[in-house]
Amino acid sequence: MNRAVTHDGEAAVAARGPGHVASRPISATVSDRSEPLADNPDIFKVRGLNVHYGEFHAVKGVSMAIRQNEITALIGPSGCGKSTVLRCFNRMNDLIEIARVSGSIEYHGVDLYGRDVDPVQVRRHIGMVFQKPNPFPKSIYDNVAFGPKIAGFDGNLDQLVEESLTRAALWDEVKDKLNGSAYALSGGQQQRLCIARAIATSPDVVLMDEPASSLDPIATLRIEELMQDLKEDYSIVIVTHNMQQAARVSDRTAFFTVDTEQTGQRTGVLVEYDVTSRIFTNPREQRTEDYITGRFG
């Protein structure tokens, strides 16, 4: 495990210099009063994850656990490997020929990269929403119905489409034009359509790679509100460049950065992973603090 990583719950307080307040006699203590997170089970367990693209060591020694029905944010500067890690969660890196993943990721206790695991099945359980809305060149209805049809869904498709669009907070805006082209929707609506498409196949995890970075502030807030509703039923992992977005929406935040080795090679590493309120009020690692406060760049 990367020694720099601090997992929540561990009292890995970095050295803060002499005279820490706890060493003095006091008669009253006001501890962390923020609402504790529910003790949800782990959905992913990542151990010693390394990702290489050919000779390039993109991500090194990441160990972390993702909890069920929480929103987990991955933040960090460009090139820190946060999107690479996200793509490992549904084996999207398999689609890149030169990508090599080592270490382990357990999904509900099963090795996600086990020999008998079908990556297509993985992606059915672990959906993904991308930075730029990417609806199919089809009707709104067909965008949502496509995945379930491919998967052999034999229930009431109309009902499934309506439910998915409702959950994605889009139904009221599109219910009268379901046969219209998805391309006629605004950017924000297209992204919510992509979320509806992702949840139509009943995944239990939704991965989001900068889902609001191409949207205006109002559309962004809609997506953020939607995420809060969705986490009742799904676990969400989001990569975002927008730290305030991570602070607003996530339960836990993982901060990644780039380590430059003596050879000059730049590798993504996990620096700190903790409850979001802790990360944004009192991070344990100086590198986290420097990044989120914008002190150094």
Partner 1 sequence: MTELRSHFYEQLQELERNLVLMGEHGVQMLTDAIGALIVSDVDAARVVMDADDVVDDLYLQVHHEWLEVMARQTPVAIDLRLMSVILHVNSHLERIADLAVTIAKITRKSEGLPHDPTIISHLQEMGDIVTSMVRAVMEAFTARDLDAALALPEMDRPVNRLNRRMVRKVAALSADPELLEWGVRMIVVARTLERAGDNAVDIAEQIAFLLTGEFREFTDASHHD
Residue 282 touches partner 1, criterion: CB under 8 A: yes
Binder among 11, 15, 21, 218 for partner 1 (CB under 8 A): 21
- What are the two backbone dihedrals, phi and then psi, of residue 195, each rounded to the nearest 5 degrees? -70, -45
| Residues between 180 and 209 that touch partner 1 (CB under 8 A) | none
For residue 281, the minimal CB distance to partner 1 (Å) is 6
For residue 74, the minimal CB distance to partner 1 (Å) is 17
Residue 80 touches partner 1, criterion: CB under 8 A: no
Q: Toward partner 1, which CB reaches closer, 19 or 109?
A: 19
For residue 265, the minimal CB distance to partner 1 (Å) is 19
For residue 131, the minimal CB distance to partner 1 (Å) is 23
Rg of the chain over all Cα atoms, to the nearest angstrom? 21
Cα–Cα distance measured from residue 253 to residue 261, given in angstroms and rounded to the nearest whole number: 25
| Residues between 247 and 266 that touch partner 1 (CB under 8 A) | 247
Measured on CA atoms in the order 111, 117, 118, 121, is the torsion positive or negative? negative
AA letter at 42: D
Asked if residue 215 lies in contact with residue 191, where contact means CB atoms within 8 angstroms, the answer is: yes
Measured on CA atoms in the order 231, 247, 107, 13, is the torsion positive or negative? negative
Binder among 6, 143, 220, 288 for partner 1 (CB under 8 A): 288
Cα–Cα distance measured from residue 133 to residue 70, given in angstroms and rounded to the nearest whole number: 23
Burial tier of 162 (Cβ tally within 10 Å: 0-12, 13-18, 19+) = middle
Q: Toward partner 1, which CB reaches closer, 21 or 218?
A: 21
Burial tier of 254 (Cβ tally within 10 Å: 0-12, 13-18, 19+) = buried
Residue 115 touches partner 1, criterion: CB under 8 A: no
For residue 245, the minimal CB distance to partner 1 (Å) is 11
For residue 27, the minimal CB distance to partner 1 (Å) is 4
The interaxial angle of helices 187-200 and 217-230, nearest 10 deg, is 20
Binder among 193, 199, 243, 275 for partner 1 (CB under 8 A): 243
Q: Toward partner 1, which CB reaches closer, 109 or 297?
A: 297
Q: Toward partner 1, which CB reaches closer, 19 or 137?
A: 19
Binder among 11, 15, 26, 218 for partner 1 (CB under 8 A): 26
Cα–Cα distance measured from residue 183 to residue 192, given in angstroms and rounded to the nearest whole number: 13
Residue 156 touches partner 1, criterion: CB under 8 A: no
Asked if residue 12 lies in contact with residue 279, where contact means CB atoms within 8 angstroms, the answer is: no
Instruction: Retrieve residue 66's tokens.
Output: 């993702």
Footprint on this chain of partner 1 (rule: CB under 8 A): 16-22, 24, 26-31, 243-244, 247, 279-283, 288-289, 292-297
